[in-house]
Structure 1
């Protein structure tokens, strides 16, 4: 069942019988697939405002999970034309290839990996000016947008740091 800002998931556990969980953007129930359900609710809420174009920006790791969210949105009555617009960005990884996890670092469960910098988790910590940050970000985006293949690969935090630390007009990506 679906409310304005929540979903009620009803299921049957083979060991414990029927149960119901309320999933809402501000917290609530827990399911093993909570991230999928949370995204379902967020995308429904964002899409409810027909006076704005909502664009979901997601990491490349969400490409396949979004198919499940789309299937759920269609199952509750949305048409293909009502599905949210999504922009998938390159995955940011550590030097070991693991996803750079902001939440684990913020929660103290992991340390800032080699090659990454505090501003990658909190842009207010950028060592230069705001206009310099915006310029560097736009230059890097121009490189990524120059070839769609850039969006189907991962970038290490160290490589992004390198691209952002110097003017990318003189930098080429491998």
Structure 2
């Protein structure tokens, strides 16, 4: 029965038994000798907080930056003013620049970013509450995932954090 589940779900299985998502990621990062840094806006440090739960992560997790304001995005991780003016802080373009920016400024193989609208206010028809973009930069390649979360502010932040960590896990499996 267990083998059937593994065959059907494959990489959709994050962990088994007492192992959690951050344990899986920590082990993969260390085993592959890949360094990571995070640039978080709407998740406000939750991703970094989860990563540091893994004992020994300090050998591969270099830093986490909460770049909440546009000024922090520009000054700390080199998101361009033009990108922010043209696309806004909550956009795939900004998420991509955040992921690349944190990786390059911290000298890591991987940069992971989140930017979004956690609510309860701040949403528009074009960019509703719950809209989150997750950026991942790995050794020069960038991917961005768009996420639409339901729920209150904490639920949106939690969903975005788990989704970002799962995206990192999936990318680590193929690199």
Q: What's the TM-score bracket when you normalise by the shorter of the two chains?
A: under 0.3
Higher relative CO (Cα under 8 Å, sequence separation at least 6) belongs to 2
Larger radius of gyration: 1
Q: TM-score, normalised by structure 1?
A: 0.23
